[in-house]
Structure 1
Amino acid sequence: MNLKQLAESLGLSQTTVSRALNGYPEVSEATRQRVEEAAARHNYRPNLRARGLATGRSNMIGHVIPISTTHEMMNPVFSDFIAGAGETYSNSGYDMTLSIVPDDAEDKAYRSLAQRKSVDGIVIHGPRADERRIKLLESLGMPFVVHGRASAEDRDYSWVDVNNRRAFARATELLLDLGHRRIALINGLEDMDFAMRRRQGFEKALADRGLAANPAWIRSDEMTEHHGYASAREMLAMTPAPTAFLVSSLISAIGVRRAIEEAGLKMGRDVSVITHDDELSYLGNGRDVPIFTATRSSVREAGRIAAAMLLDLIDDPDRTPRHRLLEAELMLGSSTGPAPDES
């Protein structure tokens, strides 16, 4: 059924039906409800191009990916976030576009999207502590939501983030309660805001117990399996060696486990491991009993929340910035145990 047929079935003009479906305030609530019920009954979906002409919107959300970070598109964290956001976009009649651009053309890409009105809003991924894109998008008048936060940014803006500092403080406290004092941190790149906050949580939990982090037991790099493996292998060869590892991703933790086993040790008995688990669809942390003790959060749910927040900002440009801080759940698995007897 097209718009004309829907309007004829209701005895209304096409203009009235179109305005009712697009939320124009001059249409009465009774008429709007009648039109929406008929549209649902006949499985009518507005033509997005026509709808865009009527509302001045593209019904498109933008995600800009610099070439140097295209590996993120293969990262299950990015994929799950996009899947969650995509569900929300689709339910609201929106689509998304991914723009792959050279690193030095990222700002130009945002300016082009704004100038051509190609998208109605932007999601910023992977913010750094000194994130520059926030100021740029504000200057362009483009609605946006940040997946994460930028510690050095004083202005207010909309964001969805996990409480990384608290999550890693709790994980460190658990290891301390188990008697561990030689605790290593295998982190993500620390110019990224989330990794910086995780290190702060780790260091604060140690300081609260009168301990200091050992710089020799801290590594920071891309969160790959090899990063986890190489870092753990190097530290386990030290004297003394760490008795526990706090790891920033499940992927890296798999590498840590490989290094522990290669050293002839048993995870959970000789060496404990706690990781951050983004509760990914295609990379599970065991079934009934988690393999790794983990600080867990759903990145797919974060995608849904960020998308809904952005669509609200698009519908009401004068809305004050919104914030959502998600707490990670600490899940006990088989990768942690009491510190080994050092006598």
Structure 2
Amino acid sequence: MNLKELSAKLGLSPTTVSRALNGYPEVNESTRERVMAAAKRYNYHPNTRAIRLATGRAMAVGHVIPIASRHEIVNPVFADFIAGAGEVYSRNGYDMVLSVVRDEDEEAAYRALKSKGNVDGVIVHAPRLDDARIPLLTEIGLPFVVHGRASQVALPYSWIDVNNRRAFHRATEVLLDFGHRRIALVNGLEFMDFAVRRRSGYVEALAARGIAPDPRLMASEEMTEVSGYRAGRRMLDLPDPPTAFLASSMISGMGIRRALEERGLRMGRDVSVVIHDDDLSYMKNGEDVPIFTATRSSVRQAGSIAAETLLGLIAERPETLPSRLMEADLIIGQSTGPAPRR
């Protein structure tokens, strides 16, 4: 079925149907939903080449991934984020351009995407506190959405983030309410904005109960099973070891659990563990009953929202840049319990 035939079935002009399919703001929401439903029902797929010619768009979104030895992008949450974003791209007739570059070539990669017209916009991953990519993309005029925030950047920009500070504040309070006072933080790399916000929430919750944070109970590493294990083992060897751990990912939490089991300690009874759960499609936190008590926020949903936001920026170029702060759910699992008596 072509555009003209689909328009005839809907009783709308081809222009209206085309604009509805491509997200133009002048098409009202009820008409857009009707057109999208009909396109799905009749298995209509727009001619991407024709759209490119008509709109001057590349009909593609870019993701530039630097190769680095110590970088959060190696975390497998990236795959779920891309899955969520990819569904939105596919539904709207967009392709995804993935560029893997050396760290020193990242700026050149963005400039090349803009100058060649290969993409209509990009999504920025793993922002740092003072992220140079934000002023760069603003300067060259390439629409972008940041997955996360960069606290030290004053320029306005569009972002999608989870409330990391509040999530880890609540998680620390849960452990404090269980009577824990020696609470360890196994965090991500703290040149990353999300990790700084998580530490802030943890420290604030301790301070509110009159507890000074112990530097020996804080670790900042790549979020891997091995780093979680090493941090857990090191802290458990302290003269006054932690009775609870707060980990920035399920993967780090698995490493902490291995360190506990190695010492004959039972998670949830002898030592409590709270993690952050990205609700990964291939790594679930248990089935009927969660294994870990967790702050949970779907990274796949974040990918979908980021992609939808970016396509909206491409279509409309609004004066006010949209942002979205997602709140994490608190899930009670089997990994937490009252602080043991010393």
The structural deviation recorded for 1:38 is 7.7
Report the AA paired with residue 251 of structure 1: I
Contact 2:70 2:222 in 1 (8 A): no
Find the residue that maps to 2:302 and give its secondary structure: helix
1:115 and 2:115 correspond: yes
Residues in 2 aligned to 1:211 and 1:3: alpha-carbon distance in whole angstroms: 65
In the alignment, does 2:112 pair up with 1:131?
A: no
Output the CA distance in 1 between the equivalents of 2:39 and 2:283.
Answer: 40
Q: Is the 8 A contact 1:232 1:256 kept in 2?
A: yes
For residues 32 and 282 of structure 1, the distance between their equivalents in structure 2, rounded to whole angstroms, comes to 33
Write the deviation string for residues 157-202 of structure 1: whole angstroms up to 9, x where unpaired: 1111010000001111111111111111100000000000000000
2-structure distance, mates of 1:17, 1:289 = 47
Paired position in structure 2 for 1:165: 165
TM superposition shift of 1:319: 3.8
Aligned to 2:92: 92
Is the contact made by 1:65 and 1:101 (CA closer than 8 Å) also made in structure 2? yes
1:239 maps to 239
What residue ranges of structure 2 are gaps of 5+ in the alignment? none
**Residues 191/12 of structure 1: CA separation in 2 closer, same or farther (3 Å cut):** closer
Q: Work out whether 1:275 is the aligned partner of 2:275.
A: yes
| In 2: Cα distance, 1:334 partner to 1:79 partner | 27
Cα shift at 1:339: 0.7
CA shift digits 1:216-272 (9 cap, x unpaired): 111101000000001101110110111110100000000000000101111111111
Query: Separation in 2 of the partners of 1:221 and 1:99?
Result: 26
How far apart, in 2, do the equivalents of 1:164 and 1:25 lie? 32
Whole-angstrom CA distance in 2 between matches of 1:296 and 1:38? 35
**Residues 182, 134 of structure 1: CA spacing in aligned structure 2 closer, same or farther, 3 A cutoff?**
same
Partner SS, residue 123 of structure 1: strand
| SS of residue in 2 equivalent to 1:175 | helix
Q: C-alpha separation between the residues in 1 aligned to 2:266 and 2:152?
A: 41
Paired position in structure 1 for 2:194: 194
Structure 1 residues 114 and 216, CA, compared in 2 at 3 Å: closer, same or farther? same
Please say if residues 89 and 95 of structure 1, whose CA atoms lie closer than 8 Å, have aligned partners that are also in contact: yes
Q: Indicate how the Cα distance of structure 1 residues 19 and 287 shifts in structure 2: closer, same or farther if over 3 A, else same.
A: closer
Q: Specify every segment of 5 or more residues in structure 1 that has no aligned partner in the other structure, as ranges.
A: none
Q: Distance in 1 between matches of 2:198 and 2:134?
A: 22
The aligned counterpart of 2:304 is 304
* 1:304 to partner: Cα distance: 0.8
| Alpha-carbon distance between aligned partners in 1 of 2:15 and 2:155, rounded to the nearest angstrom | 42
Alignment partner, residue 327 of structure 1: 327
State the SS of the aligned residue for 1:101.
strand
Q: Deviations over 1:284-330 (max 9, x none)?
A: 11111111100011111111111111111111113411111111111
TM-score, with length taken from structure 1: 0.90
- CA gap 1:90/1:217 in 2 versus in 1, 3 angstroms: same
Pairs aligned (count): 341
Distance 1:35 1:279 in 2: 32
2:224 corresponds to which residue? 224
Larger radius of gyration: 1
- Tell me how far apart the structure 2 counterparts of residues 10 and 171 of structure 1 sit (CA, whole Å): 51
Aligned-pair RMSD on alpha carbons? 3.0
- What is the one-letter code of the residue matched to 2:85? A
Q: Are the counterparts in 2 of residues 62 and 96 from structure 1 also a CA contact under 8 Å?
A: yes
2-structure distance, mates of 1:305, 1:33: 18
TM-score by length of 2: 0.91
Segment drifting more, 313-322 vs 122-131: 313-322
